Amino acid sequence: MKPKVLVTRGDHDPDAIARLAKTCEVEVCPEPRAMTRSELLKGVVGKDALLILPHDKMDEELIQTAGPQLKVIGTHSVGYDHINQELMKNHGIKVGYTPGVLTNDVADLSVCLTLMTMRRVKEHVQSICNDTWKDANASPFWLVGSCLADKTIGIMGLGRIGLATAKRLKAFEPAKIIYTATKSKDEADGLAELVSFDQLLNQSDIIIITASFNESTKGIFNKDAFAKMKKTAFIVNTSRGGLINQPDLIQALKDGNLAGAGLDVMTPEPISPDHELVKMPNVFLTPHIASSTRETRLKMINLAVDNILAGLKGDPMPSRLC
């Protein structure tokens, strides 16, 4: 009997899903969207494996609903805060994820958001749309931005993505690049200097967040952290929205204690078009698209499929989380 696999979105690459279907009985969300929670709970019953995304919360209710035969989960993501790892271990469920393949794309967007935010691109685009470009003739300092040259760039978390981001930013000739991490990185020698979190806050002209989201980093950028930053500093986040206390960020921006923010991730997601962050001129937002290139999304879905197939066979997963 073929193992049963539930695919929680209906718009994955068909060739990747066809690979699953060669050896598995596959049920796919019938529409090009994510399953609702009620659809998910109905669909997991009797399944041996799940192919999920970050909006699919893997918790006790779902595991109990699925049944004891569920032994493999493959998430189409590098983030895993939607998965209760301890619960998976307790139930003997193997979980695979998709790190590594999206490193370059996320680093690219981290640099993009840095430039867009520091150069006030949102405000410049709005000046064209609102016919206020003509105001540029009134002052040589109209909507002037900030450059990266001779600035101190701080990176929170120098893993694969943080390191790739630092390498790209080196070309902009900053004064220095500093980073925080659990330990010094050999790969950073000659590129970036390890500092404490407080030093990162005090010294940086821009802070780029690429650290993992977990209990120790949850809300680490709060009012106390923002109070230690330069009033001319910017913050960019391409990790997870939960690393930033969002109300505190909004207040810091309102009070002029930060110059601006570039965010690919927020809480919640998606945020409302009426949300305060959307309306702020010095906040540049993108809708969680850091890994959103065709090339990377194909690599991610195929790695997720490989993880599931290996897990079902009892072979080592190419990229196992727990």
Do residues 68 and 46 touch, judged by C-beta distance below 8 A?
Answer: no
Tokens of residue 44, six digits: 């997991």
CB 156 within 8 A of CB 210: yes
Query: Of the listed 12, 76, 91, 288, which one is catalytic?
Result: 288
Contacts of 275 (CB under 8 A, 6+ apart): 266
Instruction: Count CB-CB contacts under 10 A for residue 140.
Output: 7
Q: Which helix (H) or strand (E) segment is 244 a member of?
A: none
Helix, strand or coil, per DSSP, at residue 247: helix
**Whole-angstrom distance, CA of residue 261 vs CA of residue 250:** 10
Amino acid at 98: T
Q: How many CB atoms lie within 10 A of CB 132?
A: 13
Q: Is 288 part of the annotated catalytic residue set?
A: yes
Q: What is the DSSP letter of 235?
A: E
How far is 209 from 218, CA to CA, in rounded Å? 12
Q: Where are the alpha helices (DSSP H) in the chain?
A: 14-23, 37-43, 60-66, 85-90, 103-118, 121-129, 160-169, 197-203, 223-228, 246-254, 276-279, 294-313
User: What distances in angstroms separate CA 210 from CA 117, 180, 255, 303, one per listed residue?
Assistant: 17, 10, 26, 22
Distance, CA of 117 to CA of 121 (rounded, Å): 7
Residues carrying an active site annotation: 288
